């Protein structure tokens, strides 16, 4: 499986200690989300439809 290519959300704060989210959409069947302060922590994997529904609700 190819590696996720994470990009920091434009909504994430720029200062250390703030909420920081990274999203990877480079794999067609999966959208991956992680906390950029914990690069080795858990990764939430969603199908693209679930991601679209989630982001629409924000």
Give 1-58 pLDDT, tens digit per residue: 569 999 987 776 666 566 788 999 999 999 999 998 898 999 999 999 999 998 897 6
Residue 22 resides in a domain: yes
Residue 1 resides in a domain: no
**Which pTM does this prediction carry?**
0.79
Nearest Cα residue to 43 out of 16, 5, 10, 13: 5
Residue 16 resides in a domain: yes
Domain that holds residue 28: 7-56
Which pLDDT score, from 0 to 100, does residue 36 have? 87
Residue 40 resides in a domain: yes
Residue 2 resides in a domain: no
Radius of gyration of the chain from its Cα atoms, rounded to whole angstroms: 12
Domain total in the chain: 1
Residue 36 resides in a domain: yes
Q: φ and ψ at 42, to 5 degrees?
A: -65, 150
Residue 12 resides in a domain: yes
């Amino acid at each position: 499986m190819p590696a996720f290519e994470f990009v920091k959300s434009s909504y994430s704060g720029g200062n250390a200690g703030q909420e920081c989210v990274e999203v990877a959409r480079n794999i067609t069947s999966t959208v991956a989300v992680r906390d950029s302060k914990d690069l080795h922590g858990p990764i939430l994997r969603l199908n693209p439809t679930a991601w679209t529904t989630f982001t629409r609700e924000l």
